[in-house]
Amino acid sequence: MRIIIIVLLLLAVMIACGLYTERTLEKQASTLQQELDNLEKGILTKNRDETFNQLKTIESLWLKWRRLWVLLIDHHELENFELSLARTKAFLRAETAGGVSFILAEIATMKQLATQIPDKQNLTLENIF
Amino acid sequence: MLRPKAHIVGGLTVLITFVRTLLLYSLVLVVMRVMGKRQIGELQPFELVVTIIIADLVTVPMQDKGLALLNGVIPVITLLFAQVTISFLSLKSQKFQEFICGKPNVLIKEGKVNYEELKNNLYSLRDLIEQLRGQGYFNLHDVEYAILETDGSLSVMAKSSKRPVTLEDLDLSTGSQGISYDLILDGIIQQSALTQAGLDEEWLLRELKKFGINDLKQVIIATLDAQGRLLYQAKELKYHNHQR
């Protein structure tokens, strides 16, 4: 009987943590997407200062949230996001004429990853099968 | 910088796999312990399934540093839940237990092979004979009953003329055998064994003193057998036998 209670408690904790982390991931991913949208706007309006500030904001948010994401998500996916962010930063610094299209492509990649990562954690038929 | 500084003591990346392995190993140990002796003994098919799956589940996250450790932890806990639930329901409902584990099948009854049961269990005669040989029965006709248990083992009862002679057959009576108690192991008194034997520490120390043992740490093992004899072995490797 004691074992059953312990196991049920463990299960309840696991489900509760799962629900909490799912909600948190969704919220954080949504914020990340908004910030990426702002970054995109900054690039399209050629506002250099705003673009770099926006990039710093995204980086600091990422550093803060990464601690939770690394516990739940495959590290390869996080690395992909970080690579895209690093490339975006490099292209911005390079300031080449053709660089804008590369930056926009990287931002699109990051937005897709930010959507995809929490989606993969949801309890859906697609994820089960 | 996109990654925070790693909070790892030392910074040797080779220790990552080491730590992950230890964590998952500890988890599996705890889970197997919680599942209990029936899981370790693999009494039923669903327990065998759990053992196999757990081994595979923890191997991949142990080796692949790119996977979140929770990918190993959550499935193991889920299996723990499933196994405990099935065990509990099996305890409460015979029908459920039969559904999950099946029923024993009598393959040999009153010395005759039950061919229908053999076929139903996809058990060939060769398989049966091989299993009987494994249990020391080289002649199928020496067997009265052979039952295929739900864990896949074969329980065999020999014909009365073929089984070993017992004291009852010779009309001899014996007293109750009783068990022996290990009172000291590695120099440490086993309190529960002492209590079960109806003795106390003072008695034990007194007895050992009679044989020149003043320090418990000198005693590797001390056993009280069913006849009340205190048998002990001290570190000088002489085995002593003294009557209580």
Instruction: Note whether B75 and B12 are same-domain residues.
Output: yes
What CATH number should be reported for the domain holding residue B141? 3.30.240.20
The reply to whether A120 touches chain B by the CB within 8 Å rule is: no
Query: Which residue would you say has higher pLDDT here, B6 or B150?
Result: B150
Residue-level pLDDT at A86: 87
- HEC secondary structure over chain B: CCCCCCCCCCCCCHHHHHHHHHHHHHHHHHHHHHHCHHHHHCCCHHHHHHHHHHHHHHHHHHHCCCCCCHHHHHHHHHHHHHHHHHHHHHHHCHHHHHHHHCCCEEEEECCEECHHHHHHCCCCHHHHHHHHHHCCCCCHHHEEEEEECCCCCEEEEECCCCCCCCCCCCCCCCCCCCCCEEEEECCEECHHHHHHCCCCHHHHHHHHHHCCCCCHHHEEEEEECCCCEEEEEECCCCEEEEEC
Q: Between the ranges A92-96, B4-8, B110-114, where is the mean pLDDT highest?
A: B110-114
Where a domain ends, among B70, B98, B126?
A: B98
Contact of A22 with chain B, judged by CB distance below 8 Å, is answered with no
Per-residue pLDDT, B70: 84
* B69, closest residue in chain A (CA to CA): A71
What is the reported pLDDT for B56? Answer: 87
A49 C-beta neighbours (distance < 10 Å), count:
8
Nearest residue of A to residue B1, measured between CA atoms:
A59
The reply to whether B119 and B38 lie within a common domain is: no
Which residue in A11, A70, A73 is closest to B81 by CB distance? A11
Q: What confidence category does residue A26 fall into, taking pLDDT thresholds of 50, 70 and 90?
A: confident
Interface mutation target, options B1, B2, B5, chain A, most CBs of A under 10 Å: B2
Q: Do residue B10 and residue B89 come from a single domain? A: yes
Interface contact flag, A62 B2, Cβ < 8 Å: yes
Give me the pLDDT at residue B13, please. Answer: 62
Q: How confident is the model at residue B2 (pLDDT cuts 50, 70, 90)?
A: low
pLDDT in tens, B86-119: 888 988 999 998 888 888 999 999 999 999 999 9
- Structural domain contains residue B170: no
Distance from CA of A76 to the nearest CA of B (A): 6
In chain B, the number of structural domains is 3
The pLDDT of residue B241 is: 60
Q: Do A75 and B69 touch (CB under 8 A)?
A: no
Best residue in A4, A7, A87 for a mutation probing chain B (most B CBs within 10 Å): A7
Q: State the pLDDT at residue B131.
A: 93
B175 in a domain, yes or no? no
The rounded mean pLDDT for chain B is 85
Judged on CB neighbours under 10 Å (0-12, 13-18, 19+), B208 is buried
User: Do both B46 and B87 map to the same domain?
Assistant: yes
Residue B178 has pLDDT above 90, yes or no: no
Residues B27 and B89 in one domain: yes
Residues B66 and B128 in one domain: no
- The answer, for A62 touching chain B at a CB cutoff of 8 Å, is yes
Give the residue-averaged pLDDT of B119-141. 92
pLDDT at residue B105, rounded to an integer = 93
Is A86's Cβ below 8 Å from some Cβ in B? yes
- pLDDT higher than 90, residue A40: no
ipTM: 0.70
Contact B2 A82 (CB under 8 A): yes
Judgement on whether residues B72 and B137 belong to the same structural domain of the protein: no
The verdict on a CB contact (< 8 Å) between A76 and B66 is yes
- Average pLDDT estimate for A67-76: 83
Q: How far is A41 from chain B (nearest CA, A)?
A: 22
Query: Can you give the residue range of the structural domain that contains B239?
Result: 181-243
In this model, does residue A118 exceed pLDDT 70?
yes
Residues B113 and B197 in one domain: no
Winning range, highest mean pLDDT, from A85-89, B134-138, B166-170: B134-138
pLDDT of residue A115: 81
Shortest CB distance from B67 goes to which of A6, A62, A74? A74
Q: Does residue B79 belong to any structural domain of this protein? A: yes
Domain end marker among B66, B81, B98:
B98
**Structural element, H or E, at residue A123:** none
Q: Is B172 a member of any domain? A: no
- Residue B169 domain-assigned (yes or no): no
Query: Are both B130 and B186 inside the same structural domain?
Result: no
